Amino acid sequence: EEILCTLFPGGAFTTDAQQLHGIDLLRARFADMGVPVNLRSVLAKKNSLLELCEAAVNDTCMLTNPKPASVQDLLDICTEAW
């Protein structure tokens, strides 16, 4: 909600319907800028997900992740997002 309000001042994004509308606005803005909005757009082969997750689990950013995540956890998330 905070990000939406920052990008779209004056917008109300408190209800589920408003937040879904906000997601549509973000997708349109990203499309206008040529920014990919899904995993499939940046990773051409689904069989590359395992390699991606193995690298991600060892990334320094995982130190600040609010919940520990294994390769399998990340793979489950990425597979669902694919």
pLDDT at position 13 is 82
Cα(50)–Cα(74) distance, integer angstroms: 9
pLDDT at position 38 is 85
pLDDT at position 6 is 80
pLDDT at position 79 is 93
Closest CA to 74 of 44, 49, 53, 48: 53
Averaged pLDDT in 10-residue chunks for the chain of 82 residues:
78 85 89 89 88 93 90 95 86
